[in-house]
Amino acid sequence: MTATTNITTKPLTGRVAVVTGASSGIGEACAEHLAQLGARVAVLARRADRLDELVARIGKNGGTAVAIAVDVTDAAAAHAAAGRVAAELGGADLLFNNAGVMLPAPIEELAVDQWQHQIDLNITGLMNVIGAFIPQLVTAAGESGVADLINTSSIAAQNIFPNFAVYAATKAYVTHLSRHLRVELGAKHVRVSAIEPGIVATELQSHVTDEGALQWLAGSRETTEWLTAQDLAETVGFIAALPPRANIQQLTIMPTGQPS
């Protein structure tokens, strides 16, 4: 009876999950939720102090987690992180690629530094992490029959939001890349999924400096109940806990009151 209950309530027991952008928001909530579902979790982000607090909290709640402070825009650092995951946890079979930044502004402002920051983190950082961990995912899938690569995209990959052009373009990259990788990796039992959330209440909005975008976000929050990080965490957990034969290619999750 105990074993059956454990399988039912902790469907990710025995799995090793890597979560990037884990020091706050969606990544933090997801790391805690995956640990609750039974996975051992490696949490990756730049802020070591926040990661240490997260690991302590997961441990207090009966889970297992390892903190790895890393800037994912540094390819060598991402590969070193993968080496630690292999050495300390035996290799990953679930990667939630979540690190990202949103810096909207009118294109005519020529906010070149912000353009580059979004490209570096949302695209280059994503690729660095994929490059570092894909060998582990393929190996794990070959051994157990399933592994997961889950990438955080955005509803902005589909819809038009004025002044969000560069951010939206980086997220369109994430969605389209995910579709292609699913074709490449599905035959090797690595499931690839892209999650496209609408507005989620996280630190992401605090990075915005454009006054027009800030006003739009404030107006949206007054009229719409935004998604929470926990909503996304439960979505990731649901995707990862599906039977190996089932792969959600793309999932759009929106606040009920957000029209587009």
Q: Indicate which residues carry an active-site annotation.
A: 167
Beta bridge partners of 250: 194
Strands 190-197 and 250-253: parallel
Rounded distance, CA 211 to CA 214, Å? 5
- 126-144 vs 165-186: helix crossing angle, rounded to 10: 20
Beta bridge partners of 66: 42
Q: Please, what is the Cα angle at 83 between 67 and 242, to 5 degrees? A: 70
Main-chain dihedrals φ then ψ at residue 166, nearest 5 degrees: -70, -45
Residues in the chain: 260
User: In the sheet where 94-97 sits, what is the strand order?
Assistant: 65-69, 40-45, 16-20, 94-97, 147-152, 190-197, 250-253
Cβ within 8 Å of residue 253, ≥6 positions away = 195, 196, 197, 198, 227, 231, 232, 235
Q: How far is CA 168 from CA 50, 101, 163, in A?
A: 28, 11, 9
- Amino acid at the residue 160: I
Structure tokens at 207: 């990075």
